[in-house]
Amino acid sequence: MRFAALLAAAVAATTSVGAVPAHQPVESRDFSFSLNLGDLFDGFDLSNNNHYGAPIPPWVFGSKPGWYYGPHPGDHPHLPCLGGLICRILDLIPFFIHCPHNYPHPPTDPTDPPPADGYTNTFHNISAAVQADDYMTFGLVETVAACKAMCDSVDGCGFANSYHDVNGKDGSPLLTCALFRGCHGPEDADNEGGQSQPDGSINFIAESDGWCKQ
């Protein structure tokens, strides 16, 4: 990642917005954003109107995760990894994905009851993922807590669905983390996989959990 270019572009973007006269319509300000930010992430568009990098929802053939959020960014060279300086720059840019500010580490004593995190579990360990019109974005994470943290940092997110897309997404062993605006129960989980993969295998969904933000 070209950090200097990134920083320069981010600063240019924030400055250019500040410089737009108040009487100009919002559209022209949006346009100045896209001009300055188009190339920020080596061609990845992490803006809200591109579903934060994942314009094709996960149940549609050809979908790709928009981002990775977790402690091993080096393992995911083909995805924008949310961490470090990139997150601090993203914090400056409205309409773009924002990173959680603290990575949720697993409890040191696994027998401790999970901390209250503001989410209610609407379904647990089912073999189907949510498909719904209020889809926002999806990416890859390593823990359920990281998926909830992403929902907390994406503006308007009200529901997180974490699951294993077995054989899907290039065989990634990570959790898929799909975010939606409103809450969903198991009745909306009708993506059971079934898509043929480039290697001939068929994907299926495992350990799917639904998390409604209170």
Considering only 27, 125, 187, 200, the residue that binds ligand NAG (CB under 6 A) is 125
| Position with the least CB separation from ligand NAG | 125
Judged by beta carbon, residue 131 or residue 143, the one nearer ligand NAG is 143
Q: What are phi and psi of 113, to 5 degrees?
A: -65, 145
Question: Alpha carbon 4 to chain centroid distance?
Answer: 24
Token pair of 140, please? 């890859």
The amino acid at 158: G
DSSP 3-state helix, strand, coil percentages of the chain (rounded to 5)?
30, 25, 45
Token pair of 107, please? 């409890």
Cα–Cα nearest to 209, from 182, 181, 177: 177
Judged by beta carbon, residue 7 or residue 126, the one nearer ligand NAG is 126
How many Å apart are CA 130 and CA 124, to the nearest integer?
12
Q: How far is the CB of 208 from ligand NAG (least distance, A)?
A: 10
How many Å apart are CA 72 and CA 142, to the nearest integer?
9
Binding residues for ligand NAG restricted to 55-114, rule: CB under 6 A: none
Q: Are 179 and 211 within 8 A, CB to CB?
A: no
Judged by beta carbon, residue 2 or residue 124, the one nearer ligand NAG is 124
Judged by beta carbon, residue 102 or residue 125, the one nearer ligand NAG is 125
How many Å apart are CA 131 and CA 27, to the nearest integer?
31
- Is 173 a binder of ligand NAG (CB under 6 A)? no
Q: How far is the CB of 214 from ligand NAG (least distance, A)?
A: 22
Q: How far is the CB of 207 from ligand NAG (least distance, A)?
A: 5
Say whether 147 sits in a helix, a strand or coil: helix
Give the length of the chain.
Answer: 214
Task: Give me the DSSP letters along 31-42.
Answer: HHHHHHHTTTBT
- Is 192 a binder of ligand NAG (CB under 6 A)? no
Q: How far is the CB of 125 from ligand NAG (least distance, A)?
A: 4
- Is 207 a binder of ligand NAG (CB under 6 A)? yes
Q: How far is the CB of 127 from ligand NAG (least distance, A)?
A: 8
Judged by beta carbon, residue 36 or residue 161, the one nearer ligand NAG is 161
Q: How many residues at the interface with ligand NAG, by CB under 6 A? A: 2
Q: How far is the CB of 8 from ligand NAG (least distance, A)?
A: 45
Judged by beta carbon, residue 96 or residue 163, the one nearer ligand NAG is 163
Q: Which chain residues interact with ligand NAG by CB under 6 A?
A: 125, 207
